[in-house]
Structure 1
Amino acid sequence: MGSGPAPLRALAAAATALLAAAPLGCAGDGPKTPPAGAGAPSAPQEVCTLLITHWAGVILDAGEGRDAVRLDYQSMGLSGGQNDILRAVLADARAEQGAEDPAAAHRLIAREAQRRCADRYRSGAPTDGPWQ
């Protein structure tokens, strides 16, 4: 992971840490159970939310019509389905930014990324293709 933009390296490191830590506990601790009323942690959902929130913010902050990242979705670390989420979240955020202010658009990004990624990974990882 020695190449690429610094934010991408930081995201990759965070995603790796989430994936490495989420399913494991310390030896002898026994199974981990979520608090009452909480769903089991979903590392793919959390990684999706992290990636979508990051890239939507970067692209939105670059302004309308500018290619801020000059990367395709795979270079951003997204699957095809995650790219669909990114595009939908960006469309909503741009509409919100025009109606409200940049802070409202960023709050919408965080909220919608979390909701859409939760929907996508509710029953585990998608199985309809490697890039879906």
Structure 2
Amino acid sequence: MTTARAPGVRATARLLGPALLAAALAGATATACDRAPRHTDTAPPTAPEAAASTAATAPEELCTQIIARWSRAMLDSDTYGDYQSMGLSNGQYDILRAVLDAARTAKRQQGAAAAEKLIDREARQGCADRYRSGDPGKGPWR
């Protein structure tokens, strides 16, 4: 009596392996997606809200804000920090040092209120000059 020989386990695994792997990955992905948080209890934002949330702040405005913030934080200190840890480019750091030097002089000569006004004015002017052309420089450290 002769019997037909069934394909070997290795041959079957070789044929089914990729299919089983794909099915397992698809199941894992579906499970992960099912666990993702869903916010069905809130209404989608209205058009004005969506537009306001996606509006970008101009680079010169961001520059002004960060220069003024760090200038105020460092006004009473006699040192400068690491510009990279402050989130500044080299060019922005140059603006910070100029603003801070002028603010320290103004504070000594005219008081803290004068230094505060100078920080706002000089940070805005320095950043406006830097971003006037829209591109402050070509290199990553600019």
Whether 1:124 aligns to 2:137 is no
2:117 corresponds to: 107
Give every structure 1 segment of 4 or more consecutive aligned residues whose post-TM-superposition deviation is greater than 4 Å.
none
Residue 125 of structure 1, CA deviation: 2.2
Q: Given residue 129 of structure 1, which amino acid in structure 2 is its aligned partner?
A: G
Name the counterpart of 1:44.
Answer: 59
TM-score (norm 1): 0.63
The change in CA–CA distance for 1:78 and 1:66 in structure 2 (over 3 A counts) is: closer
Count of aligned pairs between the two proteins: 91
Shift of 1:107: 0.5
**Largest Rg, 1 or 2:** 2
The equivalent residue for 1:65 is 78
Aligned residue number for residue 96 of structure 2: 86
Q: CA deviation at 1:129?
A: 1.1
2:87 partner SS? coil
Structure with the bigger percentage of helix: 2
Closer/same/farther in 2, CA of residues 81 and 55 from structure 1, 3 Å limit:
same
Aligned-partner residue type, residue 132 of structure 2: R
Structure 1 unaligned spans of 5+:
1-17, 23-41
Paired amino acid for 2:126: R
Q: How far 1:87 sits from its partner (Å)?
A: 0.2
For 2:55, the equivalent position in structure 1 comes to: 21
Shift of 1:131: 1.3
Distance 1:51 1:98 in 2: 23
Instruction: Go from structure 1 to structure 2 and tell me whether the alpha carbon gap of 1:86 and 1:102 turns closer, same or farther (over 3 Å shift).
Output: same
- Structure 2 unpaired stretches of 5+: 1-51
Q: Is the 8 A contact 1:44 1:125 kept in 2?
A: no
Percent of counterpart pairs with the same letter? 54
How far apart are residue 126 of structure 1 and its match?
A: 1.5
* Aligned-partner Cα distance in 2 for 1:80–1:64: 20
Q: TM-score, normalised by structure 2?
A: 0.59
**1:97 and 2:107 matched:** yes
> 1:82-129, CA deviations, whole angstroms, 9 ceiling, x for partnerless residues?
000000000100110011011110100000000010000001022231
CA RMSD of aligned residues (A): 2.1
